[in-house]
Chains A and B, each alone.
Chain A
């Protein structure tokens, strides 16, 4: 009973201080909004309109038709016409174009011949995404009979489930929730204990009857609520602006999020007990942020990573959370379909919290 009232005292104090710290308070809402807008509007992995220059040395009826067709694909945005492949290379090197289309003088003969490639496309391979998109052009048919064009059937058909329109926000938002929550939760709590140490408050606190666990838990509680608000904010913006669906149950999403938030807060507190200044806490947070963004499957597919990186990714709570959110939001999965991820998040929170409470001794030496 006394313990609970001490815990609530710490929580009330934390809320009070947070409310007065306007910048931090603004960041709670500003950070998710800015990120979702950036990722939603500015980032698009479905690349179109690559800047293109064409060197049509054939200049026949067929080559002109090919160039026109190329423009219609929306992959290439033909900006310039030049006279020779050398000029294309020049433009490519200068970074003015991403694609250079070289049509040799004997274009027609090569098309009929069929053994030699009729068109050369020079790609700016320094950007892997551009290279991937340019590869789509490989399948563009060139034929004298324009009616035959669409009739070539492929033996393999790819059907994109869950996101048939291949809209980037639908892929990004579920993962982005993990990134935003990791970032805010870790930054706030990593600084939480250190701030009091820097301000001298800690020496007072550890001389009072408040225990480590009460202090830690009391500090965490307000941030769990903040995390929930952030989650609601991301879901609302995702729905309103980008039409990101939640196909599963929203409640499942919040349950998963509460475990994930607890895991991050506990990790943040643990970091907090390791460092001695707020600046160090920031550095440590960024150190942990990098693998969270890169190895969690948020940016790059998990399947493509080397085994060691996969193990590292598996250890991160965000990896499991992103699996849960993608499952619930896009694949209409329920928590029961992915019990391991849920158990992992819960255990992670418990272990990190215990470690933090153990490390935070109520002594100065």
Chain B
């Protein structure tokens, strides 16, 4: 057992009937870091998180989570983890304080520590004014802060967050991430799933999931450096025709329009990528400026989720 790793999974798979939701996933999550799952809806993020905390039994494979085997030892694991569900799962007909008290009792937080801990969390997560408010009547951002407060109340070593920011505004998301970094600095391992690129970029490490398969993993910067693609940005007055011109090239793996700009991905094996594009643009009589650009995480995502033939091109 590697003490450096919070989670170590090998060949983790899950079938729902004929659908393979997660396919032979290998995972190494270092301790005290923020690890991201990036992927579209249905890519297997929630299923993986649920397997890791013992809610779902893997069809194949196994995982060690904080030194416990799941699902066999999930009972022993429960006190060590905090879990925040995708959907708000606290009690809407109880107040903020009552919800926190209930969670404290369920996790057997010693009686003397309960009140100070709850006060501390109310302060830290900016919920002091809402303490008497019913959870069901709060805004998305407030609910999410309460969800996080409840998930960390018992000082878990591992925090599993399933798309925690899908229902909150950008400012709340920034604050939320500030809180996550504070927790990680305090030694908590955080596994967070998201479909926002900007959030994925904040993670220490990242796994990109597509149709249940891990298509890439590593630090965001590392992934951006190693896309295996030339990224070429095209600025055109007539992006529509420029796109038609570029798409005519068989080597082009993907074209994405961003306003008047086009981001073109061409496999690195193609040596004269820029020349080919300029040539194609001239043939189509489209005036445009082109230059080689650095890959963003979005480019990485597009590159790794292409189907195999497009990638080989």
B-binding residues in A (CB < 8 A): 2, 5-6, 8-10, 12-13, 16-17, 20-21, 199-210, 362-365
Contact = CB atoms under 8 A, between A and B. Distances in A.
A2 B93 contact: no
B90 A201 contact: yes
A201 B91 contact: yes
A204 B93 contact: no
B56 A363 contact: yes
Contact of A9 (B56, B93, B105): B105
B106 interface: yes
A6 B93 contact: no
A210 B106 contact: yes
- Shortest 6 CB-CB distances between A and B: which pairs? A9-B105, A204-B89, A207-B83, A200-B89, A200-B87, A2-B108
B92 interface: yes
Contacts of A199: 89, 91-92
Contacts, number: 76
Interface of chain A, helix or strand or loop or mixed? helix
B107 A363 contact: no
A364 B55 contact: yes
Interface string B74-109: 110011010101011111111000100011011110
30 contacts: A6-B106, A6-B108, A9-B102, A9-B106, A13-B91, A13-B94, A13-B98, A13-B102, A200-B85, A200-B88, A201-B89, A201-B90, A203-B55, A203-B87, A204-B85, A207-B83, A208-B78, A209-B78, A209-B79, A209-B106, A209-B107, A362-B54, A362-B74, A363-B55, A363-B56, A363-B57, A363-B71, A365-B55, A365-B56, A365-B57
A364 B106 contact: no
B50 interface: yes
A125 to B, nearest CB: 54
User: For this complex, into which size category does the number of interface residues on chain B fall?
Assistant: 20 to 34
Interface of B: 50, 53-57, 71, 74-75, 78-79, 81, 83, 85, 87-94, 98, 102-103, 105-108, 150
Contact of A207 (B55, B87, B90, B102): B55
Max chain B CB contacts within 10 Å: which of A5, A200, A207, A208? A207
Nearest to B87: A200
A17 B55 contact: no
A361 to B, nearest CB: 10
A207 B92 contact: no
Nearest to A9: B105
Contacts of B78: 207-209
Contacts of A208: 78, 103, 106-107
Max chain B CB contacts within 10 Å: which of A13, A21, A205? A13
Given A362-B55, A362-B74, 13 more contacts: A16-B94, A199-B91, A201-B89, A203-B87, A204-B90, A207-B78, A207-B83, A208-B103, A208-B107, A209-B79, A209-B108, A362-B54, A363-B55
